[in-house]
Structure 1
Amino acid sequence: MKTVELPGSPSLPKVFARAVASSRGRDGKGGLPDLQVVRRGVPIDTGALADYDHVCGYALRDAVPATYLHNLVFPLQVTLFADKSYPYPLVGSVHLDNTLTQHRPVRIGEELDLATWATNARPHKRGVQVDVVSRAHVGDELVWEGLATYLYRGQRVDGSVSEQPAGADAVDGPGMVWRLPANLGRRFAAVSGDVNPIHLNSITAKAMGFPTTIVHGMWSQARMLAAIENRLPAAFVAMASFRRPVLIPGTVRFVARRQGSDWVLALRDNSKGTVLVRGEVSPIS
């Protein structure tokens, strides 16, 4: 596998601009590249972490939230998407699902070796879906893994669309009501580096087929986990399925229930009850 090693954190606005500018002409031909993007010796910036915790609702602790580690690998993902060998366009892509595996808590003061690559391009009824795998090591120890599934609308890949497994209904009932301000997308972009304009500007969001500005999926997963962080085990798998866009401004209802040793989570539109995000958390024994 070819490796691109980053000496530091890239300027995400510049990498985003390069990926967007090169979106035209990316037609999926040639398949996914045998390429990984890595960055070694990455420290935890305590100031940046505190800002992130504030936006997402986490308490300030010595342990780093699992979703913040996605923040650290996200520049590697965008670098991968911007590489000329990557066959799918960033413009119009949609984050469908996100699974985080925390093998143990990462502590402030530890340095991480990060890696990201893409695999498993397969048909979807609306295009092509691709899994982007990310891993974080402390020395030789694997401490965290991420699996982000992205949909590239209108693209094609050989194969037939597999029947989607019937998912369990999202949990419902009383929960916490959160009022999401219009500037939430800009606030999360400032702490995550994800400057995709569908989260920042309603005009651009409408041009991409959304009714208005939408919340980052990773904010939704982070906020849901933050709400139960004092009940999470030290090692767990957390899954989020982004069912519908979370529009801002708006009001949502967060529901969490225990099922044995697992948590089932849902983010719903508060007035309609529509499921926006479905989540699960399972301990690793």
Structure 2
Amino acid sequence: MTRTVELSSAPSLGPLFAQAVVRAPFRKGRELPDLVVRQLGASVDRDQLAAYDDVCGFALRDTLPATYIHVLVFPLQTRVMADAAFPFPLVGSVHLTNTIVQHRPVLAGELLDIEVRATDVRPHFRGAQVDLVAEVSVAGETVWQEVSTYLFRGQKVAGTAPLRSVDPQLPTVAGALWRVPGDIGRRYAAVAGDVNPIHLHPLGAKALGFPTTIAHGMWSASHALAALANRLPDGFTYTVEFKKPILIPSSVNFVAQQRDSSWDLALTNARKGTVHMTGSIRAQAPSTIS
């Protein structure tokens, strides 16, 4: 039987992460809970939106960046993963891929009904991966959907892990050099709420197996979308795959190549050529995702 958690407001993320740390040693089992977390009538904080736009590079406007809606969804994702019945530890989880479907532009003044659930636990060559599926609607109309895939390193589940993916052919056009400052993790966390220690301080990152602090994947995805924001249709599908994490501070190359009404894009390390992120934007949004 599905258990539904109804929230009157977005949960505070600091206490959720602290709760997840306490519960981590007691996580057991490998089955996902049949859980839906829902928030009805969510509104946009205009100051937070302006701060997000500044950190990610979007211009101020009355419609929401498609990646900003992820910021509204993320606390509900965190509530699912922090739940006592969720089998894997939240802290140290890694965002692998993200697909956003924007069916139409969403106005900053609209009230949003948000629903999140976890599904499809499966093996990964570094552990276990899970999809967090979100749907956002306005007055019963589905306007935005997302599938975020997270890796829980070192966790084992039944099945055969897929082979490591081979990097696709990257766009060949000239790109732009981004300087990624050492404080971008803290700045993005302040506007997006993702206070995972791997993004905030080198010591926290090292304690969880990273050589130093890493940038949020969704900051990279947001900054890339902002670079193309004026050239996108009303409805589109935005898919990104996060590869090697961006150790900060660093410099990265951003390239985007247009093919008819679609875009292929990539982020690579400016010095080594390491691929950090690949992605695509397709003009036609599907009717639904699951």
* TM more than 0.5: yes
- Taking the aligned partners of 2:246 and 2:170, their CA distance within structure 1 comes to 16
Q: Secondary structure at the match of 1:209?
A: coil
- Taking the aligned partners of 1:219 and 1:40, their CA distance within structure 2 comes to 26
Deviations 1:37-61 (A, max 9, x none): 0000001111110110000000001
Deviation of residue 68 (structure 1)? Answer: 0.6
| Alignment-mate amino acid for residue 266 of structure 1 | A
Give 1:145's aligned residue.
Answer: 145
Instruction: Report if aligned partners of 2:17, 2:91 keep a CA contact under 8 Å in 1.
Output: no
- Taking the aligned partners of 1:172 and 1:270, their CA distance within structure 2 comes to 15
Give 2:32's aligned residue.
Answer: 32
Structure 2 matches for 1:46-85, cutoff 5 A? 46-85=46-85
Q: Secondary structure at the match of 1:73?
A: helix
Give 2:218's aligned residue.
Answer: 218
Deviation of residue 260 (structure 1)? Answer: 2.4
Give 2:132's aligned residue.
Answer: 132
Change (3 A) 1:77 1:105: same
Instruction: Report if aligned partners of 2:92, 2:198 keep a CA contact under 8 Å in 1.
Output: no
Change (3 A) 1:63 1:26: same
Deviation beyond 4 Å, 4+ runs, structure 1? 163-167
Deviation of residue 171 (structure 1)? Answer: 2.1
Structure 2 matches for 1:124-273, cutoff 5 A? 124-163=124-163, 168-273=168-273
| Alignment-mate amino acid for residue 59 of structure 2 | A
Gaps of 5+ in 2: 286-290
Identity of aligned residues (%): 51
| Alignment-mate amino acid for residue 45 of structure 1 | D
| Alignment-mate amino acid for residue 262 of structure 2 | D
Give 2:15's aligned residue.
Answer: 14
Give 1:92's aligned residue.
Answer: 92
Instruction: Report if aligned partners of 1:172, 1:266 keep a CA contact under 8 Å in 2.
Output: no
Instruction: Report if aligned partners of 1:178, 1:253 keep a CA contact under 8 Å in 2.
Output: yes
Deviations 1:185-229 (A, max 9, x none): 110000001111111101111122212110000100000000000
42-51 or 156-165: bigger deviation: 156-165
| Alignment-mate amino acid for residue 279 of structure 1 | G
| Alignment-mate amino acid for residue 15 of structure 1 | L
- Taking the aligned partners of 1:151 and 1:8, their CA distance within structure 2 comes to 27
- Taking the aligned partners of 1:132 and 1:197, their CA distance within structure 2 comes to 20
Q: Secondary structure at the match of 1:22?
A: helix
| Alignment-mate amino acid for residue 48 of structure 2 | A
- Taking the aligned partners of 1:184 and 1:166, their CA distance within structure 2 comes to 28
- Taking the aligned partners of 1:278 and 1:33, their CA distance within structure 2 comes to 31
Number of corresponding residues = 284
136-145 or 166-175: bigger deviation: 166-175
- Taking the aligned partners of 1:163 and 1:126, their CA distance within structure 2 comes to 10
- Taking the aligned partners of 1:279 and 1:215, their CA distance within structure 2 comes to 17
- Taking the aligned partners of 1:35 and 1:130, their CA distance within structure 2 comes to 14
- Taking the aligned partners of 1:172 and 1:207, their CA distance within structure 2 comes to 38
- Taking the aligned partners of 2:162 and 2:240, their CA distance within structure 1 comes to 20
Deviation of residue 264 (structure 1)? Answer: 0.4
TM-score (norm 1): 0.96
Instruction: Report if aligned partners of 1:170, 1:275 keep a CA contact under 8 Å in 2.
Output: no
- Taking the aligned partners of 2:8 and 2:124, their CA distance within structure 1 comes to 36
- Taking the aligned partners of 1:145 and 1:89, their CA distance within structure 2 comes to 25
Give 1:23's aligned residue.
Answer: 24
Deviation of residue 230 (structure 1)? Answer: 0.3
Residue 282 (str. 1) matches residue 282 (str. 2): yes
- Taking the aligned partners of 1:145 and 1:210, their CA distance within structure 2 comes to 31
Q: Secondary structure at the match of 1:268?
A: strand
- Taking the aligned partners of 2:171 and 2:152, their CA distance within structure 1 comes to 29
Q: Secondary structure at the match of 1:152?
A: strand
- Taking the aligned partners of 2:184 and 2:92, their CA distance within structure 1 comes to 21
What's the RMSD between the two structures over aligned residues? 1.3
